[in-house]
Amino acid sequence: MARVRKTVTIRDVAEDAGVSLQTVSRVVNGGPNVRPQLRDKVRASIDRLGYVPSLAAQRMSGSRSYIILAINDRERTLADWRARLGTDWVDQMLLGGILTCSQHGYRMMVELVDTHSDHVERELGAALSALQPDGVILTPPHSENRLITQLLAERNIPFARIGSNAPGPGIPLTMGDESAAHLATARLIELGHRRIAMIAGPPQYSLSGWRIDGWKRAMDEAGLPHDGLLEVGDFGYASGTRAARALLDRHADLTAIIGSSDQMTLAALEVARDRGLAVPHDLSLISFDNTPIVRFSQPPLTAVDQPIAETVSRAVEQLIARGPDGDDDAVIEVAAGLVERSSTAPPPVEAPAQAHAHAPSRA
């Protein structure tokens, strides 16, 4: 029944157009030296037959595979996914990447790799051998994993490091974490807040430090102290609960918290609710990431929007444009923006006065 339709190959096109395989190949790849007349004829044959080159054959013969491989942290991704929290990094990478890849005739694949596994090399190595991608995009925390970057450098595969500005092989891209944190803090200060705490991410992530830096800088610039206003979490919900509790226990005069992830900030929101603190009336909250889950919370969270998709898109372009290795020095920075929703407002009226004139009175 089901007639097996033979695949259209370059040979079919060559015959149809009455030229050699090589000429068709040149036309397909935009080769430089083909007479316009012949080019058009070949193009017509290609269209008529619906010829599309086989990715596998292209890879076999030429040097390119037309595949960009995106690497994500398996542990975090699967945890978020199983908990039905969404896997925003994967979303953003995949979709940001797919669109840019397809513009250049490339394809994107996603690979999940364990950070803590001793098999990183084997696991990633297998993917590289099987796929032989033309470029690899690393996300935190892999971006700064020596084993991984070395492996890629050794195999001479161009790669991008997102969320890393360290020198070394690979194209470094960052998302303006320092200035984003500074922006968020400055905005709160502008609203009148003086006691602004931060729940930071784990120190293995460079961006955790950058965000702390930005927050401190804004506080310093405004002449505000930040001692004791820092708690560290692991980006997850539970750690956010712990951190928010510790912060609110310690500082009754706190009027704002910046959380270094949506989950942690959402946890802070719940802690506030439990303690009868209205957000944003009594406590302002700013989150990092701006994943889907902060849009429908009550109130919706003001958040720093991580331009992951755009960053990945830039990474793809760099990987495709640069050959085996270009000048790997300049850090590419894509700016993050602040999306204001309803979790931020001026602090309660007595609060600023308190901080200046009186002793704190709230228990």
Partner DNA sequence: GCGCATCTTGAGAGCGTTCTCAAGACTTGT
Partner DNA sequence: ACAAGTCTTGAGAACGCTCTCAAGATGCGC
Cβ 327 to DNA shortest distance, Å: 23
Residues ≥6 apart with Cβ < 8 Å to 102: none
For DNA, the closer CB: 18 or 225: 18
29 binds DNA (CB under 7 A): yes
Q: How many CB atoms lie within 10 A of CB 348?
A: 18
Report the partner that residue 204 touches, choosing among DNA, a copy of itself, none (CB closer than 5 to 8 A by kind): none
295 binds a copy of itself (CB under 8 A): yes
Cβ 54 to DNA shortest distance, Å: 4
Residues 51-80 that bind DNA (CB under 7 A): 51, 53-54, 57-58, 60-63
For DNA, the closer CB: 42 or 256: 42
115 binds DNA (CB under 7 A): no
Max Cα-Cα span within the chain: 91
Q: Which stretch binds DNA (CB under 7 A): 14-22, 74-82, 180-188, 322-330?
A: 14-22
**Eight-state DSSP code of residue 54:** -
Q: Could you say which of 16, 17, 26, 53 contacts a copy of itself (CB under 8 A)?
A: 53
Report the partner that residue 298 touches, choosing among a copy of itself, DNA, none (CB closer than 5 to 8 A by kind): a copy of itself
Ramachandran region of residue 283, left (φ > 0), alpha (ψ -120 to 50) or beta? beta
Ramachandran region of residue 351, left (φ > 0), alpha (ψ -120 to 50) or beta? alpha
Report the partner that residue 30 touches, choosing among a copy of itself, DNA, none (CB closer than 5 to 8 A by kind): none
294 binds a copy of itself (CB under 8 A): yes
Helix (H, G, I), strand (E, B) or coil at 286: strand
Residues ≥6 apart with Cβ < 8 Å to 337: 180, 304, 305, 307
21 binds DNA (CB under 7 A): yes
Question: What are all long-range contacts of 24-30, with beta carbons under 8 Å and residues at least 24 apart?
Answer: 28/53
238 binds a copy of itself (CB under 8 A): no
Residues ≥6 apart with Cβ < 8 Å to 25: 10, 31
Report the partner that residue 63 touches, choosing among DNA, a copy of itself, none (CB closer than 5 to 8 A by kind): DNA
| Chain centroid, CA 64 distance in Å | 25
* Bridge partners for 174 per DSSP: 333
Using only C-alpha atoms, what is the Rg of the chain?
26
45 binds DNA (CB under 7 A): no
Count of all residues that appear for the chain in the document = 363
For DNA, the closer CB: 38 or 293: 38
Q: How many CB atoms lie within 10 A of CB 279?
A: 21
Residues that bind DNA (CB under 7 A): 7, 9-11, 18-26, 28-29, 32-35, 38, 51, 53-54, 57-58, 60-63
Residues that bind a copy of itself (CB under 8 A): 2-5, 7-8, 50-57, 59-60, 65, 77-78, 81, 84-88, 90-91, 94-95, 98, 107, 109-110, 112, 122, 125-126, 129-132, 153-156, 169, 266, 290-298, 324-325
